[in-house]
Amino acid sequence: MARRRESGLEIVASMPWPAGIVLGLVGYLVIRHGVGAYFLATGNPQLAGLGGIAQRGVFAPIGWFLLAVCWIAAVVSFVGRARRRRLLDSQTGLDSLREMDWRQFEQLAGEAFRRQGYRIEETGLGGADGGIDLVLRRDGQTTLVQCKQWKNRQVGVNVVREMYGLLVHHGATAVKIVALGDYTSDARRFAQGKPIELIHGGDLVATVRNLQSPRTRPPRLLDTPLALIGSMVAGLLLIGAVSVASGSASERVPPRSPVPLEADRPAPPPDRHPALAPPTAPARHVPAQATHPQPAVYASTPMSDAELRDWKKRNAAAMKILDKTTKEVPLR
């Protein structure tokens, strides 16, 4: 069903105002805290770096902007619903209906259907001359509504025939035409046997009186400004609590020590040839005098004759190998 494109503010404003409060809170918390926490948990170095930036509040202005838009839409929804309720509850008869303009007449009809359990969509396509003004949805069925606030004219068969064509074109379940006056006999004959309901001014007045709220009954809690303001204050307190908890958690996380690269690690010292290095006994510590403390002296145990002869043999064998494998350098 074609309709004009609505902005995000208008879409949220068409919802009940608590939905705007919740959407704003969820959007802010996701952008301010959820995105950074998710990126940090991925384990990807690039995403983790982006998550650290997000945790420091770089994306916070976006979250506050989304929160403000949703809460402004919630206020618009609250004010609009309150105006529609007063519009319906203040009606006294046909004379008060005639004092409205065509837009107020559509809002009155929409509020009457809303109190009957329908979900209302104001298409904004009808205008003052015709077209689909309201779309009603309930129990999986769709009903198209056109409102006619003609004060001195009857609704003719052309209007009814046009709405029946729209019903077939859009595959709707039924059609309702709400008129301030009455219908011609041709229009009534055409509507017989079809899913078309013709509501004239007298029927509308009777329906409005049955749906009006008793003046002695107090308004519902959700219909009071206290509920709207209290929801906003509670939302701000929730944001503050989450921010404090997130800051405390980030302070408890120890910073990660950098992992040294292979190039930064010291190279091991080169090994000496085992055959050329004389074996030494482990160092022996000589204790100092008890009365005159002196610096510690370390001495090596001398080799025995057998160990010395063995070392000389291995050294001579190593020299022979060097003589065979080393080429002589010619003298110039």
pLDDT of residue 208: 92
What mean pLDDT is predicted for residues 73-80?
93
pLDDT of residue 266: 58
Find out whether 165 and 130 touch, Cβ atoms under 8 Å: no
Residue 84 pLDDT > 70, yes or no?
yes
- Return the structure tokens found at 123: 């298409």
pLDDT tens digits for 185-211? 999 999 999 999 999 999 999 999 999
- Amino acid at site 200: H
pLDDT of residue 36: 84
- Cβ count near 69 (within 10 Å): 18
E strands, 139-241, where?
A: 141-148, 174-179, 196-199
Lowest mean pLDDT, pick from 129-133, 170-174, 278-282: 278-282
The string of DSSP codes covering 53-114 is HHHTTTTHHHHHHHHHHHHHHHHHHHHHHHHHHHHHHT--SHHHHHTS-HHHHHHHHHHHHH
Whole-angstrom distance, CA of residue 58 vs CA of residue 174: 52
pLDDT of residue 296: 53
DSSP 153: -
Angle at 235 between CA 229 and CA 241, to 5 degrees: 140
pLDDT tens digits for 6-18? 677 888 888 889 9
Beta-bridge mates of residue 147:
178
- Cα separations in angstroms, 119 against 243, 261, 298: 37, 64, 97
Beta-bridge mates of residue 142:
137
What mean pLDDT is predicted for residues 84-106?
89
Q: In b/e form, how buried is each residue of 88-118, taking b as 16+ CB within 10 angstroms?
A: beebeeeeebeebebeebbbbbbbbbbbeeb
pLDDT of residue 198: 96
Residue 257 pLDDT > 50, yes or no?
no
DSSP 46: H
DSSP 292: S
Find out whether 266 and 305 touch, Cβ atoms under 8 Å: no
- Amino acid at site 143: T
pLDDT tens digits for 303-331? 778 888 887 888 888 788 777 776 665 55
pLDDT of residue 123: 78
pLDDT of residue 215: 67
pTM over 0.85: no
**Domains observed in the chain:** 8-91+223-248 (no CATH), 94-211 (3.40.1350.10)
Of 34-43, 51-60, 137-146, 147-156, give the range with the top mean pLDDT. Answer: 137-146
Reported as a pLDDT band with limits 50, 70 and 90, residue 259 is very low
List the alpha helices (DSSP H) in 116-192: 157-170, 185-191
Beta-bridge mates of residue 53:
none
pLDDT of residue 326: 67
pLDDT of residue 325: 72
pLDDT of residue 291: 47
Q: What is the side-by-side strand order in the sheet with 141-148?
A: 119-122, 134-138, 141-148, 174-179, 196-199
By CB atoms closer than 10 A (0-12, 13-18, 19+), residue 173 is middle
Residues 6+ apart with CB under 8 A from 190: 157, 160, 161, 164, 196
What mean pLDDT is predicted for residues 281-296?
51
Compute CA 67 distance to the chain's CA centroid, rounded to the nearest angstrom: 11
Which residue, among 206, 140, 141, 150, has the nearest Cα to 175 in the 3D structure? 141
pLDDT of residue 247: 72
pLDDT of residue 129: 46
Mean pLDDT, all residues of the chain: 81
Find out whether 43 and 104 touch, Cβ atoms under 8 Å: no
pLDDT of residue 265: 54
pLDDT of residue 302: 67
Residue 258 pLDDT > 50, yes or no?
no
Whole-angstrom distance, CA of residue 115 vs CA of residue 122: 15
